Amino acid sequence: MSPKVKICGVTRAEDAVAAADAGADMIGLNFWPGTPRCVTVERAREIADAVRDRVEIVAVFVNADRGEVLETAGEIGAGIVQLHGDETTEFAASLADVRVIKAFHVTDESDLARLDGFPAFAYLLDARGGDMPGGTGRTINWELAAGAGRYGRILLAGGLTPDNVAEAVRTVQPWGVDTASGVEQSPGVKDKGKLELFVQQAKSGGA
């Protein structure tokens, strides 16, 4: 089965449409103000409306409070929320009305152990990047990530591009792959050609 493809950090409706046209399964709308890919609720709703019946809408948060997460997800019609900060198991479990993707920074085996029992629909594996919770363009140890599937659905992130995603899929065999900077012209502005090639390479596994 080919992996799901999530295009994250979408800031323009035309990029969402390009991602859907390319065959992506999910788009991520980022509400963390510390990134150039942050969007307002109004802009996010506009983007989501452009592709609502074609892709899953994922609302991305970093250490937001429960009320903000649920209210924002409801306002834009996101059925999935991605938690990319230090959110606890109790916090994730309290979001019963939506599916949760929980991001984990992975450098060694002990990091993978934190996935065990965490209440999430899927686990996103990303690289550490100083003060940045994600979107660093750095790859993680794919051999290490390959062992994470025992905990549940793995959404592989971290420096994935059209040039390396096929190898990543073959090595890790994840449930899905996630990219933001790997398909951009500039932060928050996607490149249609890179989008198309990324999805093609991810879905084919380089075949």
- Among candidate residues 15, 25, 38, 126, the one labeled active-site is 126
Which token pair is 83? 């938690």
205: left (phi over 0), alpha (psi -120 to 50) or beta: left
Please report which helix (H) or strand (E) contains residue 19, including its range: helix 13-22
Angstrom distance (rounded) from CA 78 to CA 1: 25
126 is catalytic: yes
Residue 14 to residues 19, 48, 49, 86, 196, Cα–Cα distance (Å): 9, 11, 11, 32, 14
Task: Please name the residues in contact with 199: beta carbons below 8 A apart, sequence gap of 6 or more.
Answer: 5, 19, 22, 23, 24
Contact by Cβ (8 Å): 24, 190: no
Largest CA distance in the chain: 44
- Among candidate residues 8, 15, 25, 178, the one labeled active-site is 8
38 is catalytic: no
Tell me the catalytic residues: 8, 126
